[in-house]
Structure 1
Amino acid sequence: MADLDHTSDESSVDSRGESNSQDSKLEFSEDEETLITRMFNLVGERWTLIAGRIPGRTAEEIEKYWTSRYSTSE
């Protein structure tokens, strides 16, 4: 029974690891950040258009990045 408890602990560690990998996906390189900023200044909140210029990124990821980094409290 002690082995079952240990297995349960490993599962929760694995779950946290998966969560961390999702968070790391929202880490952007300096080049990506620069491109997002430039594109935002040109086209505004057209996340799909911006995402189309960054391979492997979705509009949702870019919008989350932007709002977490540049959101204003108005």
Structure 2
Amino acid sequence: MADLDQSSEDVSVDSRDGNSQDIKVEFTEDEERLIARMFSLLGDRWSLIAGRIPGRTAKEIEKYWTSRYSNSE
């Protein structure tokens, strides 16, 4: 079995199963900064942002962004 060289910050829950409404996906600080920078450039084009972050889906990034930065209307 190969050793996994990951810090605890890199561990995330696979939220692609569709039953993960209340599961929070963890992002590293670097990923958070990159998402914020890409959002300022591209807006809510989640698939383009996800293309710059290996291992992340557009849905995960959108869910992270809306849960962290959405304003209640």
- Length-normalised TM-score, structure 2: 0.68
| Structure index of larger Rg | 1
Identity of aligned residues (%): 74
Q: Which amino acid aligns with 1:37?
A: A
Residue ranges of structure 1 left out of the alignment (5+ in a row): 1-20
Alignment length, in residue pairs? 54
1:69 is displaced (CA, Å) by 0.2
Shift, 1:31, TM fit: 0.2
Q: Deviations over 1:27-56 (max 9, x none)?
A: 000000000000000000000000000000
- CA separation in 1, counterparts of 2:42 and 2:62? 13
Q: TM-score, normalised by structure 1?
A: 0.67
Query: Which protein has the bigger helix share?
Result: 1
SS of the equivalent of 2:27 reads: coil
Provide structure 2 residue ranges, at least 5 long, that are not aligned to the other structure: 1-12, 15-22
RMSD, aligned CA: 1.7
Q: Which runs of structure 2 are paired with 1:1-74 in the superposition (5 Å)? A: 21-22=13-14, 23=23, 26-74=25-73
Q: What's 2:10 paired with?
A: none
